[in-house]
Chain A
Amino acid sequence: NAGVTQTPKFRVLKTGQSMTLLCAQDMNHEYMYWYRQDPGMGLRLIHYSVGEGTTAKGEVPDGYNVSRLKKQNFLLGLESAAPSQTSVYFCASRPKGRPGANVLTFGAGSRLTVL
């Protein structure tokens, strides 16, 4: 069981380049999230989705776009990368409406460096 898979795991970009991070989950989860983690800090939410075809802004959405065309995939795009977007990006998912702990399942992270 793969869980949450992020690709690529590492990427180096030049300022102004664009790229897309792919998150795929095979658990039939409704909710998906993109977080970023900067050195020595906790995770901050970029965007999230509560279902196929829906997305919403999180805490730090500027400079990013997302799409959820298929339930199992959640894409994070950087249209014009900036050095401030150097970070580790985590995708996470969870099922809808499960009572008790709605525990997030995280991917392994994608380390992005913008030069």
Chain B
Amino acid sequence: AQKITQTQPGMFVQEKEAVTLDCTYDTSDPSYGLFWYKQPSSGEMIFLIYQGSYDQQNATEGRYSLNFQKARKSANLVISASQLGDSAMYFCAMREGLDNAGNMLTFGGGTRLMVKP
């Protein structure tokens, strides 16, 4: 079974509007972390935001926020006030287990976001 599922292969959003990128995950470990990375056309992987499984509040970083619904096992990324530079691939990823272990990230298949002027 897929551990990380991103069901939207591609999405369009109008510049200055908000957009939600979906991510669902599957784990039986009570300790886990969820990450979002951005990959522009240049290819590098850029960390955006992190949510720990025990965090009480949804994570926010500037225009990025994570809508964490633990019971639904979803960790959707919300980008407010989209900009042309937000056009990129977005990957959701999960680390299972404790933070201080050498645990690797498992990535979803990604969502390509295209911002229209």
A-side residues, CB < 8 A to B, are: 30-31, 33, 35, 40-45, 48, 50, 56, 58-59, 88, 90, 92, 96-104, 106, 108-109
A-B contact pairs, 16 of them (CB 8 A): A35-B107, A40-B110, A41-B109, A42-B93, A42-B110, A45-B105, A48-B102, A48-B104, A56-B102, A97-B99, A100-B50, A102-B95, A102-B99, A104-B45, A108-B43, A109-B44
Complex Cα distance, B4 from A58, in Å, reads 16
Contact with A along B20-51 (1 / 0, CB 8 A): 00000000000001010000000111010010
Inside 8 A of B45's CB, which chain A residues have their CB?
43, 90, 92, 104, 106
A-B contact sample (18 more), CB < 8 A, given A100-B52, A104-B105: A31-B102, A40-B9, A42-B108, A43-B45, A43-B91, A45-B105, A45-B106, A50-B102, A58-B104, A88-B43, A96-B102, A97-B100, A98-B100, A102-B33, A102-B95, A103-B50, A109-B43, A109-B44
Inside 8 A of A103's CB, which chain B residues have their CB?
35, 47, 50
The 6 A-B pairs at the shortest CB distance, nearest first, are namely A42-B107, A101-B50, A50-B102, A106-B45, A97-B100, A43-B107
The range of chain B's interface size is 20 to 34
Complex Cα distance, B110 from A96, in Å, reads 27
Q: Is the CB of A99 within 8 A of B99?
A: yes
Inside 8 A of B9's CB, which chain A residues have their CB?
40
Q: Which of B33, B43, B100, B107 contacts A101 (CB 8 A)?
A: B33
A48, closest chain B residue (CB): B104
Complex Cα distance, B103 from A30, in Å, reads 12
Inside 8 A of A35's CB, which chain B residues have their CB?
107
Complex Cα distance, B104 from A45, in Å, reads 8
Inside 8 A of B93's CB, which chain A residues have their CB?
42-43
